[in-house]
């Protein structure tokens, strides 16, 4: 009898100490199908995938995994590869010091006699690259490739090991629009050759463009699976969040904008060019622009991480000289960096440790720790930010992305700066946590904090900001008013973001 589904996961449960993260999940995918797997962070997507990939064990004696009708026992990563499961993780896992061919054949090198047969490996690599529509030499070093091409190399590697099921975890998070198109073209080709694709993403538009069907997880339970034709974005969101979400950007009450508290004049360095703007108390200013427009570089310069060649900075009217992060913090600036894992968090340490690291002087006086204060601090921000955790002693690496981001926010809220620089505060964060983070940002503004909000999500910029600064290639190309009654147009922002005008109109 022919099986309808190529992959059948049935009754899959997973219990971590103190929490059931997957509850008898049914998940079936056909050959040649692109299945989107959606859900908030912490819903259990990555746990499910890690069970499929042999990284986690499922709870014993509960579920089964069948592949092409045969029961599969997947205990190790090698087992998963043997069953034709290829997982492409969000972070690129290639050795970037080696060539494409080296990477493709890593661990399964071809030998001619006792020595490596490089010629054959290069020939086969080249063939598969051509198949993928990649116009590069297989002898190119991976570090010389764009992120999109590196991702293609990862897919090629999965294909080379005869993967019949390919899982892609947020494959587009660091790709440009054209690169995404390129990737989608390849996904369609893979589909044609009968490969089952499980596609994990938070980007609704992409899902509806590329997927055949969508499965939605919430709190470790499978909420439902349907074809994209039968679903709408709103429906998917409400299934993910478990409530209607028409008002995620809703502000309660009006926020008073006060006097100027930060003024940047003629800021320039290698990456940014003559930047002028100001922030007022209680004001949220959005920074829009394409990737590489210099927004993060501007933030780093203001925060003293990168050197400034010329220009002046005024805080509450007073000229200040910020040389390093300590200076910035002393002058009341807090920076939530773009990449929370490498720049914002101490993953191996506890939530308590992370929220208190900037304000140690408040509870460690020379020698001796005021434990009560420390615990109160951690408790205060865990509660205020509703961080989902087992205890403040939990290590941050075991939190979901949204909760990790809240820990970074909590760290800076504890430091209580007057000026918050938020760099992509909702990247990789699910809809529910996004709504919570938006409310936190409003809350900061309401307290009279000035917020510099860098975001690549147009919706976020337009709905949150009081004003919008648009940057292009290191310069400010436009500053737009954006109050609740007259919102800036997306086209207008795009016009400035692509360098539409040479001079900033202040």
Partner 1 sequence: MQKISENKIGAGSNPVIVFFKNNMGILIALLALCAVLSIATDSFLTANNLLTVLRQICINAFLAIGMTFVLIIGGIDLTVGSVVGASGVAVVMLMESGVAIAPAIIVALLFGAAIGLINGTIIAFTGMPPFIVTLSLMGSLRGLCYLITDGRSVASKNEIFTVIGNGYLFGIPIPIYILVVTAVIMSILLYKTKFGRRMYAVGGNENAARFAGIKIKGLTVRVYMISGILSALAGVVLASRMYSGQPTAGNGYEADAIAAAVLGGTSFNGGIGTIGGTIIGALVIGILSNGLNLLHISSYVQMIIKGLVIILAVGFDILKNRKMARQ
Q: By CB under 8 A, name the binding residues for partner 1.
A: 16, 18-19, 55-57, 303, 305, 324-326, 328-329, 335, 337, 342-349, 352-353, 357-358, 360-361, 364, 366-369, 371, 375-376, 378-380, 382-383, 386-393, 411
In whole angstroms, the minimum distance from the beta carbon of 284 to partner 1 comes to 22
Bridging pattern class, strands 196-200 and 34-38:
parallel
Q: Minimum distance from CB of 206 to partner 1 (Å)?
A: 29
**By the 8 A CB rule, do 444 and 451 touch?**
yes
Residue 52 beta carbon to partner 1: minimum distance, rounded to whole angstroms: 14
Indicate the helix (H) or strand (E) that contains 147.
helix 147-160
Closest CA to 311 of 74, 122, 474: 474
**CB of 10 within 8 A of CB of 64?**
yes
Question: Residue 180, Cα to own-chain centre: how many angstroms?
Answer: 16
Q: Among all chains, which residue has been given the structure tokens 């009898």?
A: 1
Sign of torsion over alpha carbons 51, 54, 55, 56: positive
Which CB sits closer to partner 1, 142 or 407?
Answer: 407
Would you say 130 or 339 has its CB closer to partner 1? 339
CB distance 145 to 97 below 8 Å: no
The CB-of-482 to partner 1 minimum distance in angstroms stands at 29
Contact 30, 8 (CB under 8 A): no
What's the closest the beta carbon of residue 19 comes to partner 1, in angstroms? 5
Smallest gap from residue 402 Cβ to partner 1 (A): 13
Please, which residues bridge with residue 420 across strands? 334, 451
Cβ at position 360, least distance to partner 1 in Å: 4
User: Which lies closer to partner 1 via its Cβ, residue 137 or residue 393?
Assistant: 393
Least separation in angstroms between residue 16's CB and partner 1 is: 8
Query: Which has the closest alpha carbon to 42: 217, 202, 245?
Result: 217
User: Closest separation between CB of residue 189 and partner 1, Å?
Assistant: 35
Q: How many residues does the chain have?
A: 506
Q: CB-wise, 75 or 244, nearer to partner 1?
A: 75
β-strands 64-67, 7-16 pairing: antiparallel
Nearer to partner 1, 110 or 360 (CB): 360
169 neighbors 200 (Cβ within 8 angstroms): yes
Q: How far apart are CA 240 and CA 433, in angstroms?
A: 11
Nearer to partner 1, 332 or 478 (CB): 332
CB 338 within 8 A of CB 408: no
- Of the pair 361, 491, the CB lying nearest partner 1 is at 361
Asked if 230 contacts 32 with a C-beta cutoff of 8 angstroms, the reply is no
Radius of gyration of the chain (CA): 25
Which CB atom, from 18 or from 113, has the smaller least distance to partner 1?
18
Angle between helices 147-160 and 177-192 (to 10 degrees): 10
Which of residues 246 and 321 has its CB atom nearest to partner 1 in the complex? 321
């Amino acid at each position: 009898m022919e099986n309808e589904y190529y992959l059948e996961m049935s009754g899959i449960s997973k219990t971590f100490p103190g929490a059931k993260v997957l509850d008898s999940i049914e998940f079936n995918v056909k050959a040649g199908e692109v299945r989107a797997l959606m859900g908030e962070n912490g819903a259990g997507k990555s746990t499910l995938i890690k069970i499929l990939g042999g990284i986690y064990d499922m709870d014993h004696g509960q579920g089964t995994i069948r592949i092409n009708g045969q029961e599969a026992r997947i205990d190790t990563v090698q087992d998963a590869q043997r069953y034709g499961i290829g997982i492409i993780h969000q972070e690129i896992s290639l050795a970037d010091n080696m060539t494409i061919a080296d990477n493709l054949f890593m661990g399964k090198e071809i030998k001619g006699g006792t020595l490596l047969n490089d010629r054959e490996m290069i020939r086969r690599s080249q063939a598969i690259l051509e198949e993928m529509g990649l116009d590069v030499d297989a002898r190119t070093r991976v570090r010389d490739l764009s992120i999109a091409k590196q991702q293609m190399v990862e897919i090629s590697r999965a294909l080379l090991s005869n993967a019949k099921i390919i899982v892609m975890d947020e494959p587009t998070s660091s790709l440009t629009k054209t690169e995404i198109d390129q990737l989608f073209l390849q996904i369609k080709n893979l589909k044609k050759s009968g490969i089952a694709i499980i596609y994990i993403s938070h980007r609704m538009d992409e899902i509806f463009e590329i997927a055949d069907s969508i499965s939605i997880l919430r709190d470790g339970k499978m909420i439902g699976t349907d074809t994209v034709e039968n679903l709408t974005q709103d429906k998917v969101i409400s299934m993910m969040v478990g409530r209607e979400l028409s008002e995620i950007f809703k502000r309660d009450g009006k926020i008073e904008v006060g006097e100027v508290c930060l003024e940047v004049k003629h800021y320039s360095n290698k990456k940014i060019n003559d930047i002028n703007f100001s922030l007022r108390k209680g004001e949220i200013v959005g920074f829009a622009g394409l990737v590489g427009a210099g927004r993060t570089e501007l933030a780093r310069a203001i925060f003293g991480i990168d050197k400034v060649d010329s220009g002046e900075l005024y805080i509450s009217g007073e000229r200040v000289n910020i040389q390093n992060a300590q200076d910035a913090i002393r002058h009341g600036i807090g920076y939530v960096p773009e990449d929370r894992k490498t720049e914002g968090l101490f993953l191996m340490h506890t939530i308590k440790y992370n929220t208190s690291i900037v304000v140690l002087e408040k509870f460690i006086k020379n020698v001796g720790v005021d434990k009560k204060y420390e615990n109160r601090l951690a408790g205060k921000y865990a509660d205020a930010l509703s961080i989902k955790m087992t205890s403040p002693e939990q290590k941050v690496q075991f939190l979901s992305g949204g909760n990790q981001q809240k820990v970074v926010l909590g760290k800076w809220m504890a430091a209580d700066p007057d000026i918050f620089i938020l760099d992509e505060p909702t990247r990789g964060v699910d809809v529910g946590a996004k709504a919570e983070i938006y409310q936190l940002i409003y809350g900061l503004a309401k307290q009279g904090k000035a917020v510099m909000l860098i975001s690549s999500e147009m919706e976020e910029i337009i709905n949150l900001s009081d004003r919008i600064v648009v940057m292009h290639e290191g310069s400010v190309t436009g500053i737009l008013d954006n109050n609740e009654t007259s919102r800036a147009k997306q086209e207008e922002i795009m016009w400035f973001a692509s360098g539409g005008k040479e001079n900033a109109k202040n």
